[in-house]
Chain A
């Protein structure tokens, strides 16, 4: 793989390589994949303190994949921003506005040399007043797109392939089917059965637009339903 001949500087701060690439941004993407699975194997660690799902407001949730420390910083800022929005404009910050804000902030890091991009891919979810349930994914480059289904992390490509097959004909899933599709996607790419305590699931649904993390019992029910279905 040929590296740019820009004298190596393009790899230290975010400037263009001779081919027009931003190496530091590309490396930030690698950091998301490199973060891998958190060290749950440590018996002394309290597992309830390990989470990648963060409520931003009562109605907005954020799933952070990548470097945990960077994710926490992002979450703090996002919470602040969402609270200020609510105060300034008198209504809850919509999902796409939050996603755009996160993306704009990430873009600044790719342009200013004094800060590095955050090694986090964030998926923002919520229930929009006009458009219903919405899911956005923001990455270190400052891109953000709305998705019907998506994935991030080490096995993201396999998960996305799985989801594409399921969502090909634009099906309209019920709530249970949606949750079970997500959990099945995880099962298929990790290729091993996991217990309800080993995954976390966050949902927003019509009729109950509050962002909620499912309890272990609820996850168990879904796991049982999936195995019965197969």
Chain B
């Protein structure tokens, strides 16, 4: 359903006659064109994975990071315009540091999300700014346990059990719904996310992609880190095998 804004879509400070702000909706489209980003909340932590579409064979693997640590206990996976994403990450890091220096403890994930969401929303209020063209999945582990949030370009944020944004988000969400997240450990979650990303990757439209994953869980001592190399390699192998098995059917 693509409705043309025709004149009401030129500025973020303009409402259309049916009460929509088209600029914000267009910003969301930028997210939909990006590689899939998934996050799930397992019983002992959060796992996030990104389908990094490789645009050039000359690129070094491991470059163009899409998952960033915000604080010891939290990380963000960004979908959409990468440069915009860096701004959001920088702001999140600043908020986290500021909170810790004022209150003397690591920022609660809910508070961090609210601050970042506020900042994203701010850029939808002034005509001299444009909305961020990226969506963020924020995962962290604090006193209230592991939490997963998603922030959209409109500044809306909700807490999720599982979330997906980007190209394959519909297919990914269907797959995530099948999982029993509350009984899964993060180790198992890593395998599942790898399988889902491989499955929703569109071989026809996009050629190569690199899987980037991170977690924050009991096993990582509640620190946000890249998934350990052997686990990642194992997950990729399992995902490829599952895909071949599915193709063979």
Contacts and interface: CB of A to CB of B under 8 A. Distances in A.
A11 interface: yes
A51 to B, nearest CB: 10
A45 B158 contact: yes
Contacts of A43: 161, 177
Contact of A119 (B19, B114, B122, B160): B19
Contacts of A68: 156
Given A48-B159, A72-B155, A73-B121, A113 B127 contact: yes
A24 interface: yes
B13 A50 contact: no
Contacts of A115: 13, 125-127
B160 A44 contact: yes
A27 B17 contact: yes
| Best-surrounded residue of A44, A50, A76 (most CB of chain B within 10 A) | A44
Interface in A144-201: none
B199 interface: no
Nearest to A29: B19
A11 B14 contact: yes
Contacts of B20: 31, 34
A100 interface: no
Interface residues of B, number: 37
Interface in A72-128: 72-73, 76, 113-117, 119
A76 B19 contact: no
Nearest to B151: A69
Interface size class of A (residues with CB under 8 A): 35 or more
A13 B15 contact: no
A32 interface: yes
A28 B125 CA distance: 13
B162 A44 contact: yes
Contacts, number: 104
Interface stretch (B4-12, B77-85, B91-99): B4-12
A229 interface: no
Contacts of B15: 24, 27-28, 30-31, 116-117, 119
- Interface residue SS majority, chain A: helix
Given A31-B20, A72-B121, A113 B160 contact: no
Interface string B93-129: 0000000000000000000001001100110111110
Interface string B162-192: 1100000000010011000000000000000
Nearest to A73: B121
Given A46-B161, A115-B126, A69 B10 contact: no
B59 to A, nearest CB: 32
Contacts of B126: 114-115
A12 to B, nearest CB: 5
Contacts of A29: 19
A27 B17 CA distance: 5
Contacts of B155: 69, 72-73
A113 B19 CA distance: 17
A18 interface: no
A2 interface: no
Contact of A70 (B14, B121, B128): B121
Contacts of A114: 13, 126-128
A33 B19 CA distance: 8
Indicate the member of A8, A12, A43, A76 with the most B CB atoms within 10 Å.
A12
B21 interface: yes
A18 B83 CA distance: 43
Contacts of B14: 11-13, 24, 116
Contacts of B247: none
Contacts of A31: 15, 19-21
Interface of A: 8, 11-13, 23-24, 27-35, 43-46, 48-50, 67-70, 72-73, 76, 113-117, 119
13 contacts: A11-B8, A11-B17, A13-B14, A30-B18, A46-B158, A46-B159, A69-B117, A69-B156, A72-B121, A73-B155, A76-B114, A115-B126, A116-B15
Those 5 A-B pairs whose CB atoms lie nearest each other, nearest first: A30-B19, A31-B19, A27-B15, A49-B159, A69-B155
